[in-house]
Amino acid sequence: MTTPLMNDAETWYLVFTRPRMEKTAVTNLGYQEYTSFMPFIRSRKRRNNRLVEVVEPMFPRYLFVKLNTTTDHWRPIYSTRGVTCMVRFGLEHARVPQHLIEQLQALGDAEHILDITPVGPKPGDRVRIADGSFAGLEGILEARTGRARVRLLLELLGQTTCVELDEKDIDAL
């Protein structure tokens, strides 16, 4: 999403939403013709002892809304379904710098999903095996061997043993 050039009276503000109602708030603000922005990230969560990829808000319970300080009416935002309040610091509403919004928008795709790949353990780091027949054992990450594969050094029966696993099956310590 590209933002047209903003005039001096247009500013981005921070809105606090109800739990897990960020999308509802964005939709309802759109119905009222407010411009809003909520970035998402892909992350991996462990569910039922498996890692699954989920898309979730980058800033849970927060979104950004662009308001013209001279022409927009702010009161309807407070009664918008999904919105709790606008964030304030004292008597001032929390302003968000335009360049921050532009950077977040530039990092995202058409659905505002930002590609932020978490940095995993590096060779030499201690890790714990979270899934599989070696679950619960700790070892040292020796190397990354290919796409989503790692080689670990484990202490088994008094000897150092090398095993190769899916990267998704290990957790950093």
pLDDT in tens, 162-172: 999 988 888 88
Q: Is the pTM of this model over 0.85?
A: no
Q: What is the pLDDT of residues 111-130, one digit of tens each?
A: 889 877 656 788 889 999 98
By the 8 A CB rule, do 64 and 38 touch?
yes
For 5-47, give the secondary structure using H, E and C. CCCCCEEEEEEEECCCCHHHHHHHHHHCCCEEECCEEEEEEEE
Domains of the chain: 10-114 (3.30.70.940), 126-172 (2.30.30.30)
**What is the chain's alpha carbon radius of gyration, rounded to the nearest angstrom?**
22
pLDDT over 60 at 2, yes or no: no
**3 state SS of 61:** coil
**Residue range 36-85, pLDDT digits in tens:** 999 999 877 778 877 788 899 999 999 999 999 888 888 999 999 999 99
Specify the DSSP class assigned to residue 126.
Answer: E
